[in-house]
Structure 1
Amino acid sequence: MNQYEYQTSFFPVTYYGEEEDHGYNSNWIPTSPNPESIYDNNEYQKHMAEMGTKGWELISVQPLLRGAYGSDYTGTYGYGYSLTAGYYLFWKRILPS
């Protein structure tokens, strides 16, 4: 019976955004993900190639979510939503006998 070892990697996602200024304070509001922060990332490409070369098999990918929240400048109402902060990559490979 085969025995396995496991490893986890993480790659963050960056966002495009805009500054929201209410006079007394300002907030940076993320508006859309920047997909290039993953697939144009040289470290990501290097890591994927290295893991494959070393015999690791990618078995699962899971997003890490974080909450984003705010309110209008008067404080009358609030809002909240989730953003993908990055992705966990789960790997396995067979241990040598």
Structure 2
Amino acid sequence: MGHQKFEYHTEFSPFQYIVRTKKLFMFKSEEPTTEPDTQGFLEDPERQQRLSQLGSDGWELISVQPVVRGEVQIGNQNAQSWAYGMALPTGYLLFFKRPISRE
């Protein structure tokens, strides 16, 4: 009895953050936030369609790994220095596998 063989596939699924629009008189600017757009991520029809297609083609999702970037802010207000840092996900690596058919 032989071992089952598999083939593997990896995809990157980007993650977005909410952008707030600020208005000051006649000026308008967009400011990114650190608030994730989770609902937009879950309801993205292209992502849903791609996952459905992979499932129909026999791919099984076996693991998800976040891809993060470092966000650092350094400031000085009234001679009081401050700083903070955090890791923000930029997306997710999706790892799939499916059995290789024996012929």
Q: TM-score range by the shorter chain?
A: 0.7 to 0.9
Cross-structure match for 2:56: 53
Cross-structure match for 2:14: 12
Q: Structure 1: which amino acid aligns with 2:5?
A: Q
- 1:6 Cα offset (Å): 0.2
- 1:47 Cα offset (Å): 0.8
Q: Which has the larger radius of gyration?
A: 2
Distance change >3 Å, CA 77–CA 29, structure 1 → 2: farther
Structure 1 unaligned blocks of 5 or more:
20-27
Identity of matched residues, %: 35
Q: TM-score, normalised by structure 1?
A: 0.80
Q: TM-score, normalised by structure 2?
A: 0.76
| Distance in 2 between residues matched to 1:71 and 1:15, nearest whole Å | 21
Query: Would the aligned equivalents of 2:17 and 2:32 in 1 still touch at CA under 8 Å?
Result: no
Give the alignment partner of residue 92 of structure 1, picking from 94, 97, 100: 97
Cross-structure match for 1:43: 46
Structure 2 unaligned blocks of 5 or more:
22-30
Match of 2:54, SS?
helix
